[in-house]
Structure 1
Amino acid sequence: VSPLVTSPIYPPLSGKAATEEPVVSFSPNWATIAKNDSITLTCTVGPTAPLSQRYSWYRDNRRINGKERSFIIGKAEEKDSGNYQCQAGTSETSDPVRLNVTNDRLILQAPPSVYEGDPLTLRCYSPYTKPVNATFYKDNETISSLNDSLTLGASVGLAGTYRCKVCQPTEFNHSSPYSSAGIAITFQELFPRPEIRADKDGVQGGDVLTLSCHTALNPARGATQLQFAFYRNGHNVQGFSSSSNYTIQSARPQDSGNYTCDTAAPSVSVTKGSPGLSIHIHGEYNVMLCPGQTVLVWTFCTCNCMYSTTIKQHISRELLCIMYILNPTHSVYLVI
């Protein structure tokens, strides 16, 4: 069984690809090709990268000839098999992508990487003749017996071990069965489950509070657009948009609750929700001096403190207050 190489998940940056790391892609997009077939490897960098720069190519961590954005293997040999990486200028080196070159009579071809939400396309291929009536198997169970190619709907549940089998005519007009080697197909995360964060602890009434929905888009899918939505106690407070932030301009006790966020990639119908974050917002204090009381700077006084509770009632308590002068026209009273 030949496993497909999977890429790591990158540090969260609120829905953006973590870095401008280059990505290696294949055309045609098959991880396994036949001997003497051709394939083009392309090094793709983010949109902010310079258009004109020098590229470096590596196979199994060793530098190989190639200074252009595309690296062409015109007539593949088995020695061309390996893990390919590229570097654009002084960028980080890309994650490795595995290419297999085989002399097998029958090959099951699949993309080098399959992501959440992607359809899975397989091809039962022979370099000698076009297979007819190919039968595809997943975990040794028949899933199709029609053409030489098969496309399955996007689902992480499609992960498994695949192979194909055909009956090809011989020179004596007899049919001879051939079976491909099995390949293990796994689905990479497009982005991990998001995490909701608050920009401050101990929120007081009247504070500006910003909640952020953090995740990390896989750099290999940097062009995928993410959208975010926010909820309090299961009720939507901000619909899906490109903003990963939700701001409460003047927090009130009734804004307290359990907050969650969703991250979605609408183009591939992938949506993930965050764990909850409990937010408690304290009421506002309005401190007033007692009528007719004379107060000196840095002295203690008794005052009434009006406290706004979550049920919108006002209660008056005798609290110990301290006053200090910020400037000749502004005073601040601290409750202690």
Structure 2
Amino acid sequence: MSTETSLLLLWLVLIQEALLTTPTIKVTPQPVIEGGDMTLTCNTSLNPPRHNAQLQVTYYKEGRIVQESGVSETYRAYNVQLEDSGKYSCAVETTDGRVRKKSAEKVIQIVALLTTPTIKVTPHPVIEGGDMTLTCNTSLHPSRHNTQLQVTFYKERRIAQRSGVSDIYKVYNVQLGHSGKYSCEVETTDGKIRRRSAEQVIQIEELFSPPVLTVSPESVSDGDNMTLSCDTNLRDYRQNTDLQYAFYRDGGNLQGFTSSNKYKVQFIQEKNSGYYTCEIQTSTHRVKKQSQKLQIQGKAGGSVEAVCSSLCREQARANADSKASHSSGSNFVLTQAEYLRCKLLCHTRNMGYSNLNIFQLAFFGGGIIVGAILVFCFINRTKTKRHFSSIMTSWATRSNRTIRTVT
């Protein structure tokens, strides 16, 4: 090929190259917010201008085609997400493919509509029986500050409060079971943008420890004064909390809720043996806890006087007998008849004689009655002596009459 021919071809190439300017990419809007639409325009010009000239445009992202060659000089992306960020370029060529030019890469950064939410919990720490407030905090892009958001709260990845416009979730009268992992999710009303917070562990702290029931003395017998104590520990910063205590035996109420953590009773094996529990609640009734069961069996025995005294006091509480109305006092004195009755009950019920047959009971009871008569006679011995002499004189007189009649 001659030099003239080479120069001619070079001149033709230069002329063709000069027909197109190097394209540039323009992006709208600025900035591009996630969830919105993005338009890329590939700008070039013909020299000289040719209105009827046809050009083909191809768009690339990270060197890969995102829109095939076509006559449109624009590329539109709808509902863009953060992952649509990247390096974009375009290429322009004539329909015959003789002239082709490519733009420089343009970095396009999609801006987040809202920040990743975080959970804030108040108060801190959260104490059982109180109220807890969770707030889902996020920020919108200034150019979209009027965007409506919906918030959902989760506990252990299960919905705790369904989607709504409120960014607050309140829990009233929290209990230990409310402890767990909480998170929240924020989304636009059209569902295009959604963000979820990291899980936050919330531990509800005890207001007071589970109650422990103890008995004093540890080994009780008939007639002993037994004291039950219901003990717990309050949080250091809640020492002024008012607590109420109740006591139960075999599920039945012994003492309703009062401010005293003690229950006192004179132990009688037959009446007071069983399974005991106590219960503690706050004065607001928001927190209530029960102790483990405590079995109290007790031992038979003790002085007859103590046991009988206890039985008579129990009987006095159960009826309105005026003779037993003084049983609440510490110096309660039994009448003779009451003493004999109590002593008989003690021996037959509490001292191991519960299996006596009717003849043994009659004998035992008769012995008590004879003893009572002898005691009565001794106390009234002067009158008894005169009465006995009178009886003997009368008997002798009747005997003599009888003898004379026989003779």
Give the TM-score normalised by the residue count of structure 1. Answer: 0.52
In terms of fraction of residues, the more helix-rich structure is 2
Note if 1:289 corresponds to 2:263.
Answer: no
> What amino acid maps onto 1:253 in structure 2?
L
Contact map agreement 1:225 1:265 (CA 8 A) in 2 = yes
Q: Where in structure 2 are the equivalents of 1:1-336 lying within 5 Å?
A: 105-111=22-28, 112-126=30-44, 132-144=55-67, 145-146=69-70, 147-153=72-78, 154-168=80-94, 175-267=98-190, 269-283=192-206, 285=208, 286-287=243-244, 288-290=259-261, 306=280, 314-315=290-291
The verdict on how the C-alpha distance between 1:186 and 1:174 changes in structure 2, with shifts beyond 3 A counting, is closer
CA RMSD of aligned residues (A): 3.2
The verdict on how the C-alpha distance between 1:176 and 1:247 changes in structure 2, with shifts beyond 3 A counting, is same
Contact map agreement 1:131 1:148 (CA 8 A) in 2 = no
In terms of fraction of residues, the more strand-rich structure is 1
User: How far 1:132 sits from its partner (Å)?
Assistant: 3.3
User: How far 1:204 sits from its partner (Å)?
Assistant: 1.8
SS of 1:236 mapped into structure 2: strand
User: How far 1:209 sits from its partner (Å)?
Assistant: 0.9
Structure possessing the higher radius of gyration over alpha carbons? 2
Contact map agreement 2:38 2:76 (CA 8 A) in 1 = yes
Question: What 5-or-longer segments of structure 1 have no aligned partner?
Answer: 1-103, 294-303, 318-336
Cα distance in 1, alignment partners of residues 55 and 161 from structure 2: 53
User: How far 1:261 sits from its partner (Å)?
Assistant: 0.6
Deviates more, 1:273-282 or 1:127-136: 127-136
Cα distance in 2, alignment partners of residues 138 and 158 from structure 1: 9
SS of 1:254 mapped into structure 2: helix
The verdict on how the C-alpha distance between 1:131 and 1:261 changes in structure 2, with shifts beyond 3 A counting, is farther
Q: Percentage identity across aligned positions?
A: 23
User: How far 1:152 sits from its partner (Å)?
Assistant: 2.6
Q: How many pairs does the alignment contain?
A: 199
> What amino acid maps onto 1:121 in structure 2?
T
Cα distance in 1, alignment partners of residues 75 and 155 from structure 2: 44
User: How far 1:282 sits from its partner (Å)?
Assistant: 3.4
Contact map agreement 1:114 1:120 (CA 8 A) in 2 = yes
The verdict on how the C-alpha distance between 1:131 and 1:218 changes in structure 2, with shifts beyond 3 A counting, is farther
SS of 1:267 mapped into structure 2: coil
Dislocated runs of 4+, deviation >4 Å: 127-131
User: How far 1:291 sits from its partner (Å)?
Assistant: 5.7
**1:192-222 deviations in whole A, cap 9, x for unaligned?**
2111010111212221110000111111221
Contact map agreement 1:224 1:267 (CA 8 A) in 2 = no
Contact map agreement 2:56 2:94 (CA 8 A) in 1 = no
Higher RCO, 1 or 2 (CA under 8 Å, sep at least 6)?
1
User: How far 1:116 sits from its partner (Å)?
Assistant: 2.2
Cα distance in 1, alignment partners of residues 123 and 143 from structure 2: 33
Contact map agreement 1:131 1:166 (CA 8 A) in 2 = no
User: How far 1:155 sits from its partner (Å)?
Assistant: 2.9
The verdict on how the C-alpha distance between 1:306 and 1:143 changes in structure 2, with shifts beyond 3 A counting, is same
The verdict on how the C-alpha distance between 1:110 and 1:131 changes in structure 2, with shifts beyond 3 A counting, is farther
Question: What 5-or-longer segments of structure 2 have no aligned partner?
Answer: 1-20, 209-242, 245-258, 265-277, 283-287, 294-407
> What amino acid maps onto 1:126 in structure 2?
T
> What amino acid maps onto 2:24 in structure 1?
I
